[in-house]
Structure 1
Amino acid sequence: MTRREVLLAAAGGVVAIGAGGAWGWRASVGSQEAYRLYQAALRAPLPQDPAAADLIRAATLAANGHNTQPWRFRVGPGTIDILPDMTRATPVVDPDDHHLFVSLGCAAENLARAGTAAGRPGVLETGADGMIRYTFTVGEPRPDALSAAIPARQSCRAVYDGRPVAPDAIEALQRAALGDGVRCVILTERSAMARLGDLVVAGNDAQMGDPAFSSELKHWLRFNPASAMRHGDGLYGAAAGSPVLPDPLGHLAFDLFVTAAGEADKYAAQMRSSAGAAIFFGAAADRASWIAVGRACQRFALTATALGLKLAFVNQPVEVARLRPDLAALAGEPGLRPDAVLRFGYGPARPFSPRRPVGAVLA
């Protein structure tokens, strides 16, 4: 499941144009403290006797493309279904809905992990149409490190510090990604990472040259806390290290300052700073396999979080179809379609992305 942070270089000059005074500025962008409280409520620990809504809240904290949260949840007696929400598809970056179903898999993994941890253990089943059903019972709570990592996991689109990750941690990440026919190739050797960085930049160049891609991306951008909380979705600029701006200035700054060259430089620096990357391959090019990849990506991400690592998707070589063969060859899996790429390493803390309330995602 892909997110793009906004590069707002020189935005300070734009900000100076008609900020409207301190009061007007605060009214238009909202309060960072209000956003912190909003996030704390979303990521609060599960209660001792959780309802289905509590488990769904944990599921919605999963990784997903552009933070569109393309899911609906339907509650039945002892069941929670996860359904695709096609109104939240991103047809330019994800024309076959691949990322959408990977995102559903990420949510399903969170749901099952939270259920087991909170005393609602169960099983996940995936239908051919991409619907996922979690059938659960009441049992003893069994918390573990991965369930504890659910509220803390995030896609950290920052420059990391370049430190290598210990071999035992790499092995733990590799084990986490196994299951349901998913293959995961982890790259740490610097020449391989450099080649991967070139593919990421090539994908970025292709996407940034497409006006439809930029328009779709811009639709999901949230430039300030007020906008992020109002929508409850999308790519929150502060989470990517961008300055807080009123919406009109944010859109103007995006149009003026976000360029293919600037984005390429940013991604190149991020890749150079990363300790490694993981490339995921599903068993087939179908919805059930994409969901399995999403579950594997989420286990990988929760394991990385539990180990104190940061991570972020860099899916450009997956999204630009002509680059997929080169990415598969780099991973030593020629002929397979790659499904996701995650870079990882040690990096800074950033604000969390927004989420919609449970009531807004119920079917």
Structure 2
Amino acid sequence: MKRRNLILGLGGLALAGGAGALAWRGSVGSTAAYAEYQAQLRRPLDPADMRDLIRYASLAANGHNTQPWRFHLGNGVIEIRPDFTRRTPVVDPDDHHLFVSLGCAAETLAIAAAATGRPGALSIAADGSSIQYAFTAGSARVDPLFDAIPRRQSTRTVYGGRPVPLEDLKLLETAAAIEGVGVALITERGHIGSIRDLVIAGNTAQMADPAFMRELKDWIRFSRTEAMARGDGLFAPASGNPALPTPLGRLAFDLFFDVRAENEKYARQIESASGLVVFLGARADPAHWIAVGRSCQRFALAATSLGLKTAFLNQPVEVTALRPELARLVGAAGQRPDLVLRFGFGPALPFSPRRAPAETIA
């Protein structure tokens, strides 16, 4: 569930006026066009259209916004399978994030289907090769998290820092309760600072890896035009950065994406958070990673419904050497931590793109 914030210092990389400005706007795409694109992605769900459930399920959190899923519609069942053509092998060599992403989509699908008159049950293959949502008899069951589905986003900016009320923390913990998944809420500033140090250590190690940097850059969508055309990837304005023509954005990434500045930004963002949450599966296998994704998605939806923002900080779970210390810090020595999120009160940013259902339905 990687999310990166770019330092795109433009320096002398400016386009002249006149024809140059027109070319810039054409290559970047207009704010209005992107707003309409997002409104269509997040329009109200059509209860009569089973394919529209796939649109809602695809709004789930997922690593690098690769959307690594394929949906199969059957008689009374929707099956979700991994799409390994959308792997991120450098940051996610064992497909951990891929299977977590499937869990996020499966939970979103289940909530949306039940709310629109198709209640059912999720079942996960032991090897994680497929997830089935089988319809059952019954009337619509509206989960309180349903309305948050189109509003949830990973908000990668500075938050307000004020604490979350205790009763809301309990609601978050309850919402995320999934069998086989441990949820550790951290609000004590000293513990937050210790995890911040692990995030910075992990970021430093990753940014020193040329393969990691190439993979990250390949998944960034610098312009609105590219984001809408491809429907995936890490949209630069969703991290608070300017939209740029893709060639200029890629050049700026090479010139200005600096480890020290990124570490300082992560430190500010973590210090502004109300708290952190760490998810731990009972075992390190695809079925439990899917369960972690379900728990994470429910937490994020509950946070959204409470007016909170969330963002991923997964460096300490992606850099293998840092996992034991993270597990120790949350009282789970010997386990493999799966995800780290920060949460707090913050502003909305532009939403990330999504592919059309026709591209994900097999």
Normalising by the smaller structure, the TM-score range is: over 0.9
The 1-side partners of 2:137 and 2:56 are apart by: 17
Deviation at 1:268, TM superposition (A): 0.7
The 2-side partners of 1:201 and 1:109 are apart by: 31
Tell me what 1:166 maps to. 165
Structure 1 residues 120, 12: closer, same or farther in 2, change over 3 A?
A: farther
Q: How does 1:1-363 map to 2 (within 5 A)?
A: 1-8=1-8, 10-11=9-10, 13-16=12-15, 21-47=20-46, 49-130=47-128, 131-137=130-136, 139-363=138-362
The 2-side partners of 1:55 and 1:326 are apart by: 40
The 2-side partners of 1:19 and 1:196 are apart by: 49
Deviations for 1:40-97, whole angstroms, at most 9, x for unmatched residues?
A: 11111112x3322111111000000000000010111011110100010000000000
Deviations for 1:279-308, whole angstroms, at most 9, x for unmatched residues?
A: 010010100000000000000000000000
Deviations for 1:205-259, whole angstroms, at most 9, x for unmatched residues?
A: 0000000000000000001110100110000000100011100100000000001
The 1-side partners of 2:270 and 2:16 are apart by: 34
The 2-side partners of 1:153 and 1:108 are apart by: 15
Work out whether residues 164 and 275 of structure 1, in 8 Å CA contact, stay in contact via their aligned partners in 2.
yes
Deviation at 1:39, TM superposition (A): 0.7
The 2-side partners of 1:349 and 1:138 are apart by: 38
Q: How many residues align?
A: 361
Structure 1 residues 322, 35: closer, same or farther in 2, change over 3 A?
A: same
Deviation at 1:351, TM superposition (A): 0.4
Structure 1 residues 261, 57: closer, same or farther in 2, change over 3 A?
A: same
- For 1:295, give the aligned amino acid: R
Deviation at 1:26, TM superposition (A): 1.2
| SS of aligned partner of 1:203 | helix
| SS of aligned partner of 1:82 | strand
Q: TM-score, normalised by structure 2?
A: 0.97
Work out whether residues 64 and 233 of structure 2, in 8 Å CA contact, stay in contact via their aligned partners in 1.
yes
- For 1:94, give the aligned amino acid: D
Work out whether residues 100 and 289 of structure 2, in 8 Å CA contact, stay in contact via their aligned partners in 1.
yes
Deviation at 1:185, TM superposition (A): 0.5
Work out whether residues 223 and 244 of structure 2, in 8 Å CA contact, stay in contact via their aligned partners in 1.
yes
Work out whether residues 121 and 136 of structure 2, in 8 Å CA contact, stay in contact via their aligned partners in 1.
no
- For 1:40, give the aligned amino acid: A
Deviation at 1:12, TM superposition (A): 5.1
Work out whether residues 113 and 147 of structure 1, in 8 Å CA contact, stay in contact via their aligned partners in 2.
yes
Structure 1 residues 17, 189: closer, same or farther in 2, change over 3 A?
A: farther
| SS of aligned partner of 1:344 | strand
Work out whether residues 282 and 339 of structure 1, in 8 Å CA contact, stay in contact via their aligned partners in 2.
yes
Deviation at 1:159, TM superposition (A): 0.5
Percent identity among equivalent residues? 60
Work out whether residues 119 and 138 of structure 1, in 8 Å CA contact, stay in contact via their aligned partners in 2.
no
Structure 1 residues 32, 333: closer, same or farther in 2, change over 3 A?
A: same
The 1-side partners of 2:274 and 2:347 are apart by: 14
- For 2:147, give the aligned amino acid: A
| SS of aligned partner of 2:154 | coil
Deviation at 1:16, TM superposition (A): 3.7
Consecutive unaligned residues of structure 1, counting only runs of 5 or more, are none
The 2-side partners of 1:88 and 1:215 are apart by: 15
Consecutive unaligned residues of structure 2, counting only runs of 5 or more, are none
The 2-side partners of 1:307 and 1:344 are apart by: 11
- For 1:78, give the aligned amino acid: G
- For 2:305, give the aligned amino acid: A
| SS of aligned partner of 1:13 | coil
The 2-side partners of 1:20 and 1:140 are apart by: 59
The 2-side partners of 1:198 and 1:15 are apart by: 36
Deviation at 1:128, TM superposition (A): 2.2
Deviation at 1:137, TM superposition (A): 4.1
| SS of aligned partner of 2:169 | helix
